[in-house]
């Protein structure tokens, strides 16, 4: 529990209106107050260090330094930071990356206000908070095979339209190796062609464009 009675919160989202919604909603709760806002990941870290809030609400996909990277940096400097991800996306990889980065809660933007308030209270109390629809996504993920860092790198190149030869040059490896990675990617994502691999990976949050 927080020192002054009220749970002190910062919110980080690049959409003004989402911040307005959060401030409005959290403001109605007697036991919470939003002490500051940020519109980017970089700004969020600064704001956190200035205000040292009890709970930080982060959007996962923000321009510039993304939410994942921001959370990772924040949690490495402040291991006690209580971060809740508040995202519009429910790709299994997004969710997994958020928790791996150090988040203690993940809540969808479509969820109702009570769920958000509950999440804030639970995380403030030192617990984890994972709604059913989010945890089911993580369960689905366990049935998938995960891509290696190199495979993800290759897939990202594919998404940008590069040919095998171009990828080989850019990564300084043989095009035989590129083909190998692609074989593994197609197998793991259970698709037949590189184009579908890209759209599936985009939907799951494995890569971004």
Partner DNA sequence: CGGAACACCCCTCTTTAGAGGGATGCCACT
Partner DNA sequence: AGTGGCATCCCTCTAAAGAGGGGTGTTCCG
Residue 200 in contact with DNA, rule: CB under 7 A: no
69 binds, among DNA, a copy of itself, none (CB under 5 to 8 A by kind): none
Name which of 79, 71, 141 is nearest 101 in CA terms.
Answer: 71
Q: Which of 131, 180, 200, 202 binds DNA (CB under 7 A)?
A: 180
Residue 169 in contact with DNA, rule: CB under 7 A: no
CB 130 within 8 A of CB 105: yes
Angle at alpha carbon of residue 128, lines to 108 and 11, rounded to 5°: 50
CB 154 within 8 A of CB 181: yes
Q: Which of 169, 174, 199, 203 binds DNA (CB under 7 A)?
A: 174
Cβ neighbours of 1 (radius 10 Å)? 11
Task: Name the minimum Å distance from CB 27 to a copy of itself.
Answer: 9
Q: Which residues bind a copy of itself (CB under 8 A)?
A: 14-25, 39, 86, 88, 109-113, 116, 158-161, 163, 191-200, 202-203, 209
> Nearer Cβ to DNA, position 82 or 181?
181
Residue 156 in contact with DNA, rule: CB under 7 A: no
Q: For the chain, state the CA radius of gyration.
A: 19
């Amino acid at each position: 529990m927080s020192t002054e009675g009220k749970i002190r919160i910062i919110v980080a989202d690049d959409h003004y209106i989402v911040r307005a919604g959060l401030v409005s909603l959290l403001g109605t709760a007697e036991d919470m107050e939003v002490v500051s806002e940020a519109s980017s990941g970089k700004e969020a870290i600064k704001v956190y260090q200035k205000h040292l809030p009890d709970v930080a609400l982060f959007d996962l996909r923000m321009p510039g330094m993304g939410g994942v990277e921001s959370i990772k940096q924040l949690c490495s400097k402040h291991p006690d930071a209580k971060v809740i991800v508040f995202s519009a996306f429910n790709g299994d990889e997004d969710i997994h990356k958020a928790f791996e980065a150090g988040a203690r809660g993940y809540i969808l933007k479509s969820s109702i206000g009570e769920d958000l308030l509950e999440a804030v209270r639970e995380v403030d109390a030192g617990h984890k908070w994972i709604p059913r629809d989010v945890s089911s996504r993580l369960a689905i993920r366990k049935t998938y095979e995960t891509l290696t860092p190199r495979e993800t790198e290759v897939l990202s190149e594919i998404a940008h339209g590069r040919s095998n030869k171009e990828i080989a040059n850019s990564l300084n490896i043989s095009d035989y190796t590129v083909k190998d990675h692609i074989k593994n990617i197609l197998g793991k994502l259970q698709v037949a062609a590189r184009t579908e691999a890209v759209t599936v990976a985009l939907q799951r949050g494995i890569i971004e464009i």
